[in-house]
């Protein structure tokens, strides 16, 4: 696919929709009964994901994103139709991603009975916070990279989710708030303040190297509490966020990756 071509995206979306609709007539339980794990990283990782995310943002701005949402719906139906236990994806928005519109109260939306992990890198800002079982966000950044860069995807995604949820509360009469849970594994041992732009002042905080694991753990706990408070302010009292350092990252049951490079 030509990553820059709108036609390319839409043709790919249609082809995926068509394939999934066909498979969904029978369901994964009959076609692939032993399939228990799916890792989407090999299809939509890296730059491909960034190109898709840009296109989806354009679609959201033009309010033409139903095509995209419908595509994700077919993937959700596919995932729910078998014996899947674990799903992981790399990248934020693409047709085989984690749908941000899942619901436990809408009978048309399939139940999620499997664990979901999104592996992320700096530069993204639209990690999904679906309802249902908690979502896990895992940072792929090695310990030598700037922690500030991988904090941005978390804080921006939470802000984006809050904006989206608040507008749904305002605009959709039958919108029902459902609790969400986010488990984050992301830290590095290096921190320098993010640059704001050419000529602008930074906070003056000196670069910090070799932040100990204990210190990472303490900072993660505080940032998790702050993110949770942000979600609860506009959401429900049982919304929750837990943030852990990267050294605690469990092995992903879908793709097998674990703690990022600590050298």
Of the two residues 64 and 248, which places its CB atom closer to Zn ion in the complex? 248
- β strands within the chain, DSSP E: 37-39, 86-90, 115-120, 135-139, 181-185, 240-244
* Cβ nearer to Zn ion, comparing 39 with 109: 39
Q: How far is the CB of 40 from Zn ion (least distance, A)?
A: 9
Footprint of Zn ion on 184-223 (CB under 5 A): none
CB of 84 to Zn ion, least distance (A): 14
- Give least dist CB 89 to Zn ion, A: 8
> Does position 254 bind Zn ion by CB under 5 A?
yes
Only one residue has tokens 């989710």, namely 161
**Contact yes or no for 137/187 (Cβ under 8 A):** no
**Are residues 114 and 71 in contact, defined by beta-carbon separation less than 8 angstroms?**
no
Residue closer to Zn ion (CB basis): 162 or 253:
253
Query: Where in 34-93 is the site for Zn ion (CB under 5 A)?
Result: 88
Rounded least distance, CB 14 to Zn ion, Å: 28
Helix (H) and strand (E) counts for the chain?
Answer: 7, 6
Q: How far is the CB of 39 from Zn ion (least distance, A)?
A: 5
Q: Which is nearer to Zn ion, 93 or 255 (CB)?
A: 255
The encoded tokens of residue 211 equal 């932040």
Q: Which is nearer to Zn ion, 116 or 165 (CB)?
A: 116
Name which of 155, 181, 171, 161 is nearest 237 in CA terms. Answer: 181
Size of the site for Zn ion (CB under 5 A): 4
Whether the CB-CB separation of 135 and 108 falls below 8 Å is answered with: no
143, 154, 223, 255: residue in contact with Zn ion (rule CB under 5 A): 255
- Long-range CB pairs of 53-62 (<8 Å, 24+ gap) are 53/91, 53/92, 53/93, 53/94, 53/124, 53/126, 55/6, 55/9, 56/93, 56/94, 56/126, 57/93, 57/126
Q: Judged by CB, which is closer to Zn ion: 161, or 185?
A: 185
Which residues ranging from 234 to 253 are in contact with Zn ion (CB under 5 A)? 252
What residues does 120 pair with on adjacent strands?
139
Query: What minimum distance in Å lies between the beta carbon of 200 and Zn ion?
Result: 37
Interface residue list for Zn ion (CB under 5 A): 88, 252, 254-255
């Amino acid at each position: 696919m030509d990553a820059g071509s709108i036609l390319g995206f839409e043709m790919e979306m249609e082809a995926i929709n068509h394939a999934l609709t066909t498979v969904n007539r029978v369901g994964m339980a009959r076609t692939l009964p032993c399939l228990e794990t799916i890792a989407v990283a090999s299809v939509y990782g890296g730059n491909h994901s960034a190109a898709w995310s840009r296109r989806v943002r354009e679609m959201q701005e033009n309010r033409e994103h139903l095509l995209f949402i419908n595509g994700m719906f077919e993937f959700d139906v596919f995932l729910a139709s078998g014996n899947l236990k674990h799903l992981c994806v790399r990248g934020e928005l693409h047709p085989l991603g984690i749908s941000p519109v899942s619901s436990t109260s809408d009978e048309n939306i399939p139940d999620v009975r499997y664990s979901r992990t999104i592996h992320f890198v700096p530069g993204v800002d639209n990690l999904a916070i679906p309802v249902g079982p908690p979502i896990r966000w895992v940072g792929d950044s090695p310990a030598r990279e700037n922690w500030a860069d991988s904090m941005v995807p978390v804080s921006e995604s939470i802000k984006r989710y809050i904006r989206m949820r608040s507008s749904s509360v305002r605009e959709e009469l039958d919108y029902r708030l459902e609790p969400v849970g986010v488990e984050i594994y992301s830290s590095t041992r290096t921190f320098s303040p993010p640059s704001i732009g050419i000529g602008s002042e930074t906070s003056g905080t000196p670069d910090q190297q070799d932040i100990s694991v204990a210190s990472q753990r303490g900072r993660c706990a505080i940032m998790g509490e702050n993110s949770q408070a942000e979600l609860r302010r506009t959401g429900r009292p049982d919304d929750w966020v837990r943030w852990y350092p990267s050294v605690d990252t469990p092995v992903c049951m879908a793709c097998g990756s674990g703690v990022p490079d600590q050298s």
